[in-house]
Structure 1
Amino acid sequence: MRLTRRKVIQGGASATLSAALTPPVWAQTTLQADDRTLNTLSDGNLVLPKSFAFGGTAPEGADEMLARYGITGDSMTPDCNVTLLRSGDRTILFDVGAGQEFMPSAGKLLDAFDTLGVDIFDVTDVVFTHAHPDHLWGVRDDFGDLLFPDATYHMGRAEWDYWTDPDTVSTIDEGRVTFAVGAQSRLELLAEQINLFEDDQEILPGVLSRMTPGHTPGHMAFEVQLGSESIMILGDSIVNHHIAFEKPAWLSGSDQDPELGVQTRLGLLDQLSTSQMRLIGFHLPGGGLGRAERHGDGFVFVGEET
């Protein structure tokens, strides 16, 4: 593996601290068909207040529901799953994780790369679901340069237009101002290497875009062809494995447009449960791979280990 400037920085400090403070991270799931290999890679996890799931007062029964999933304290620690697709001469990364400037519990993607034997110079394409910090901020290395210098970058036009609009910083809600500032500074680096696309477009061979707004204005999911089946990379259009599945009509505090997020979530869950298409969720447990199944008047996430 080629030495990167990031590895030079990490070498001294992390050698003594990582074993004690950082849990191991790795390639969590692997799917193969024909000449295509799909992995989910751990970028670590987030640490969020439980109230973040609701954006205000928790609905009746919410605490009891979360307790059934082992969430009983004041915080949640959702996994962060980045997807890697290797197909022929292409190595395609879906989102890039949080990098080193968002949360100390995240930004572990390069450890998973090491486990797979993948180098940053191998990445030919980076595809973004959206521009929130845990999906975008890892695009920049510790020196402020692009971490994947040889890649072509792909983002939905509506998402790009929103985050590069100078007015977004002053119009976004106060709690997300740092999201907007961080997005603009990073997207400026991509201006010469960005491919913008629309809904329902084959952006790369066997990769179809699917507009899934609500979490952000231009959020995209992607249907990836793998042999005879398609797998839906959800990003944050379905953001957790408990409330979003059991009570998809509840408003989510993580969505920038909660009402639109409900419409998107209901439509996706209906499609995924009916077709039994496999899915990968960025914040779903166990690497994020599984299926949605109907359960009463809601749904349940059925995880899958490979």
Structure 2
Amino acid sequence: MALTRREMLAGLGAGLALAGPVWSGTTLGAMRIDTLSDGNLALPGDFIFGPMPQQALTPILRKYDLDRDSLTPGCNLTLLRDDERTVLFDAGAGPDFQPSAGKLQAAFDALGLSPDDITHVVVTHGHPDHIWGLLDDFGDPLFAEATHLIGATELDYWLDDTTVDTIGPARQAFAVGAKRRLEALGDRITTFTDGAEILPGVLAHASFGHTPGHMSFELRSGTDAMMVVGDAIGNHHVAFERPSWPSGSDQDVDTAAATRLRLLDRLSTEQMRLIGFHLPGGLGRAEAHGDGYVFLPEAT
């Protein structure tokens, strides 16, 4: 399929037109799936673009109208509801990370929900925009009635006392904040490993690289499925156009690139919908295009 720049940007505009606390909604069998805005991040361009081949990067920046020096990716949490469960994938940034993020309550208000309605919090990984919202202003668990689920490898990494010394100075605050929050949850946390059906219709897939134990989640009802990819596919531009390139946002750039390639191949081949934490509107599809892929947002 040949996509012109205008057609691609028009597709992204369809997703961006959904802007608001609740970006999009769809169904999967008896499950209702919504993507909820937690605001956006403000990042220096080098956080993602730094290790990439700069000359080859320039036309991609132009194609997507991106600023090389700064990025403001949106943050999209996934909410799954059925007759028995209200499941939140990741907890957002909370009030202590960046002033432009931590806006989840507006989405809850729009849906008539409160944190006490959440039965399960499923964590993709331990970066601040994904878990610093686990605690309230008093340092207590915000989702007081919920079971919290996280991959065993990811939990071990952030609770390890040596992580703060090995993660690198730019991410030391990440390690301190993650450890404090995960320790505060104590026995509210349940762990799992690759391939586990952590809840009915929710299958865990190891998608390591962005962090050492990053997990994605296949939501399935019969033959229909979608994938919550977290930050395993971290943006709608370079991650799709050149998935093999190293990204400065990944802790293990080689493993993360291999994970992206594997996920994009499966998602495009099976035409499985995906929800990405930093993709415009969250929900869409991956389609093979030239030497890479393109993100097609789904307006719902």
From 227, 248, 256, the counterpart of 1:253: 248
From 86, 91, 94, the counterpart of 1:96: 91
Compared CA separation, residues 292 and 33, structure 1 to 2 (3 A): closer
Q: Does 1:37 pair with 2:48?
A: no
Using CA pairs under 8 Å that are at least 6 residues apart, name the structure with larger relative contact order, 1 or 2: 2
Q: Which runs of 5+ in 2 are unaligned?
A: 1-18
Alignment partners' CA distance in 2, 1:214 and 1:165: 18
Q: Does 1:217 pair with 2:234?
A: no
Alignment partners' CA distance in 1, 2:197 and 2:136: 29
Match of 2:23 in 1: 28
Residues 60-96 of structure 1: per-residue CA shift (max 9 Å, x gap) = 2213211221213520110100000002221000001
Describe how 1:1-306 pairs up with structure 2 within 5 A. 25-56=20-51, 58-72=53-67, 74-226=69-221, 228-285=223-280, 287-306=281-300
Structure 2 letter corresponding to 1:76: L
Q: Judge conservation of contact 1:130–1:159 (CA < 8 Å) in 2.
A: yes
Alignment partners' CA distance in 1, 2:57 and 2:259: 21
Sequence identity percentage: 56
Total equivalences in the alignment: 282
Structure 1 letter corresponding to 2:297: G
TM score, norm. by length of structure 2: 0.91
SS in 2 for 1:88: coil
Residues 202-223 of structure 1: per-residue CA shift (max 9 Å, x gap) = 0001000000000000000000
Alignment partners' CA distance in 1, 2:209 and 2:279: 18
TM score, norm. by length of structure 1: 0.90
Structure 2 letter corresponding to 1:96: A
Q: Judge conservation of contact 2:92–2:130 (CA < 8 Å) in 1.
A: yes
The alignment yields a C-alpha RMSD, in angstroms, of: 1.3
Residues 77-119 of structure 1: per-residue CA shift (max 9 Å, x gap) = 1010000000222100000110000000000001100001111
SS in 2 for 1:254: coil
SS in 2 for 1:159: helix
SS in 1 for 2:55: coil
Q: Which runs of 5+ in 1 are unaligned?
A: 1-23
Alignment partners' CA distance in 1, 2:126 and 2:61: 28
Structure 2 letter corresponding to 1:130: H
Greater mean alpha carbon deviation, residues 216-225 or residues 28-37:
28-37
